[in-house]
């Protein structure tokens, strides 16, 4: 099995990077959608449009992307036998945290759809920083491999 994965290593790596880009794009977009959603009047047609846009972003882009990122990432780690690498442990911890963040955003979408507006626009704008900071640290871990 490992021989087959080794032959396809570059394809696994390319696919992993492509779907990480899709996932990160969605994680950047969703909090911004939430800001616009909260600025729309409750019960308005505009609010209904934002609910639909958020749902589509979650179901069409974010959900498939996170699944493919995890599958290909684990396949890459298996192919290269990286399980004892400290940098990989740190990266996986950050990816787990990003996955939890993704789950939190999905749950907040459901709350917004029910009319529960618990976060301010400022808080949601700050949420845009989470995936960027995590991505920067992950890239450093993978490229520099500090430990």
This prediction's pTM: 0.91
Instruction: Give the pLDDT band of residue 7 (cuts 50, 70, 90).
Output: confident
pLDDT surpassing 80 at residue 1: no
- Binding site, annotated residues for heme: 16, 91
- CA atoms lying within 13 Å on the CB side of residue 77: 17
pLDDT in tens, 12-71: 999 999 999 999 999 999 999 999 999 999 999 999 999 999 999 999 999 999 999 999
Residue with tokens 């749902």: 55
- What is the C-alpha separation between 147 and 70, in angstroms, rounded? 22
- Binding site, annotated residues: 16, 91
Q: Residue 131's Cα: distance from chain center in Å? A: 7
What pLDDT is attached to residue 51?
98
């Amino acid at each position: 099995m490992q021989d087959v994965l080794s032959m396809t290593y570059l394809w696994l790596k390319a696919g992993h990077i492509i779907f990480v880009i899709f996932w990160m794009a969605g994680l950047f977009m969703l909090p911004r959608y939430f800001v616009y959603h909260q600025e729309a009047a409750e019960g308005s047609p505009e609010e209904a449009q934002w609910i639909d846009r958020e749902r589509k972003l979650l179901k069409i882009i974010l959900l498939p992307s996170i699944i493919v990122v995890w599958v290909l990432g684990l396949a890459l780690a298996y192919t290269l036998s990286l399980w004892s690498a400290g940098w990989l442990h740190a990266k996986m911890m950050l990816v787990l945290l990003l996955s939890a963040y993704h789950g939190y955003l999905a749950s907040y979408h459901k709350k917004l759809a029910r009319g529960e507006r618990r976060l301010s626009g400022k808080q949601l704008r700050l949420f845009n920083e989470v995936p960027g900071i995590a991505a920067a640290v992950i890239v450093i871990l993978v490229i520099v491999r500090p430990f």
